[in-house]
Each structure stands twice: as structure tokens, then as C-alpha cells.
């Protein structure tokens, strides 16, 4: 029997890089959209929260928030609720990114509230153990990213391929419906191909695209083996 593999996902986290300030997020989202339309590959974009509405209303690719907070609508001054993210037109959200950590119990609440708002969920984890625990909340994706490799020049697929295989195995023990992504230092089509060969269903990356002088060329290279 052929094993079920979901369509590969490439998620671009814009973070809070200077390149995406002052209109940069929308420009980059449009470049991602053009590559997605040209190649047929699902490219998801994660602009800064302040640009969620603008970007969601301007591009056809799925837009994800970089974060949601575990609050329902109401008295929650300054927090980002899943409901308001949905109202901006976003399709989903990252949760517990390495640069925006929250306790495990809060991760579950964020996933639950996001599901109630019909948001797709991508829970980030530092290692296979945390990925397995996070899979218990049944998000759509778990993304494993070793913090020490984030923003660096060596791809996780080269520096620590075992973490990807271990995560795929650990998550599969919990649920067959949670897909695994990997990230940290991913920059090229070879990195993406290696990730897929190690069992991942796609990649989550940032600096390789956002800080590039030619994001379109990087994106085309990233998806060339998918």
C-alpha cells in the first residue's frame, strides 16, 4: 500500500526583519504568490501581525499569523486572538515559534481556540520530544526547528538530519494526521529535497528568502524538486 503523503508545504516566515517593514511584507507576499502560481507549489506566507489584514486581502496564497494568544474575544487588551486573526482573512497561524515560546499547556489552548476559528495550525517545537507532545493537540502541522541552527547558514537537513527522522517517527506514533515540517537554515532546493527524503512534508524558513536580494530566484530554487 502506498503511504499517504500530503502535498508539500513551503512556509515563509517573514519574522520582524527590516526588509518586511514599510510595505516590504506585501511586496514579498506578492513574489511568493507569483512563484506559487507559476509552479503550483503551496507557498504559505507569515507576515508580521500588523500586516495580516493587508496581505490577506491582497494575495491568493494562504496567509498565516506568526502567533496567536490563547484568548477568546473579549477583555484581552493587546493580545492577538485567533478570532481576530481569522477576521483579518488569515488561513492559519504559527504557534510557539522558537522566538515566541509559550508553555505546553498554552499551546493546547491556542490550538483549540484556533480550530474553533477554523484556522490551520502549525505548532513549532525545538526537538522530537516536544514535537510529539505538541502532536497530541492534533494541530495540522508540527514544525521541528533546532534553535541553535535558526538564522544560520547550515541547514538542519545537513547539521541534524536525525532530528527530522526522529520527529517524523515520534509524531506518527501519536497521530497519522499531523504532518511534520522542518526548518532552520533551509535555503536551497537541495535542502528541501533532503527534508522530504527524511520524511518531512515541507519546510518552514525565513532568512534565506526574506533577507535575499532576489527572493524570487531563491523561491524558484527552493521548490524546484517538489
- With contacts defined by CB under 6 A, name the span among 70-78, 83-91, 160-168, 206-214 that binds ligand G3P: 206-214
**Active site annotation includes 100:** no
Nearer to ligand G3P, 12 or 135 (CB): 12
DSSP letters, 26-51, are: HHHHHHHHHHHHHH--EEEEE--GGG
Q: Assess 207 for contact with ligand G3P (CB under 6 A).
A: yes
CA atoms within 13 A on the CB side of 55: 33
Nearer to ligand G3P, 83 or 208 (CB): 208
Name the residue number minimizing CB distance to ligand G3P. 207
Q: Is the Cβ–Cβ distance between 140 and 92 less than 8 Å?
A: yes
- With contacts defined by CB under 6 A, name the span among 105-113, 129-137, 164-172, 198-206 that binds ligand G3P: 198-206
Q: How far apart are the two ends of the chain, measured CA to CA in Å?
A: 22
Q: Is the Cβ–Cβ distance between 6 and 39 less than 8 Å?
A: no
Q: What is the dihedral of CA 51, 52, 53, 54, to 10 degrees?
A: 40
Nearer to ligand G3P, 81 or 96 (CB): 96
Q: Which of 19, 99, 145, 190 is catalytic?
A: 145
Give the other-Cβ count within 10 Å of 216's Cβ: 15
Q: Which of 3, 21, 38, 97 is catalytic?
A: 97
Q: Which residues bind ligand G3P (CB under 6 A)?
A: 13, 97-98, 145, 150-151, 183-186, 204-208
Residues annotated as catalytic are 97, 145
Amino acid at each position: 500500500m502506498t503511504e499517504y503523503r500530503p502535498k508539500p508545504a513551503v512556509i515563509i516566515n517573514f519574522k520582524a526583519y527590516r526588509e518586511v517593514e514599510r510595505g516590504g511584507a506585501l511586496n514579498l507576499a506578492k513574489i511568493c504568490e507569483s512563484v506559487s502560481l507559476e509552479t503550483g507549489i503551496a507557498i504559505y506566507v507569515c507576515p508580521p501581525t500588523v500586516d495580516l489584514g493587508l496581505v490577506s486581502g491582497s494575495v491568493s496564497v494562504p496567509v498565516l499569523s506568526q502567533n496567536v494568544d490563547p484568548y477568546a474575544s473579549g477583555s484581552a487588551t493587546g493580545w492577538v486572538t485567533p478570532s481576530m486573526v481569522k477576521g483579518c482573512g488569515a488561513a492559519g497561524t504559527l504557534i510557539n515559534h522558537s522566538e515566541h515560546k509559550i508553555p505546553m499547556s498554552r499551546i493546547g489552548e491556542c490550538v483549540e481556540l484556533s480550530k474553533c476559528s477554523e484556522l490551520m495550525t502549525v505548532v513549532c517545537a525545538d526537538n522530537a520530544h516536544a514535537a510529539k507532545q505538541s502532536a497530541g493537540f492534533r494541530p495540522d502541522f508540527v514544525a521541528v526547528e533546532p534553535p541553535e541552527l535558526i538564522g544560520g547558514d547550515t541547514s538542519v537537513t545537513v547539521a541534524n538530519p536525525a532530528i527530522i527522522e526522529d520527529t517524523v517517527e515520534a509524531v506518527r506514533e501519536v497521530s497519522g494526521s499531523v504532518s511534520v515540517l522542518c526548518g532552520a537554515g533551509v535555503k536551497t532546493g537541495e535542502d528541501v529535497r533532503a527534508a522530504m527524503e527524511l520524511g518531512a512534508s515541507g519546510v518552514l524558513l525565513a532568512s534565506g528568502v526574506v533577507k535575499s536580494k532576489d527572493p524570487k530566484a531563491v523561491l524558484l530554487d527552493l521548490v524546484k524538486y517538489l
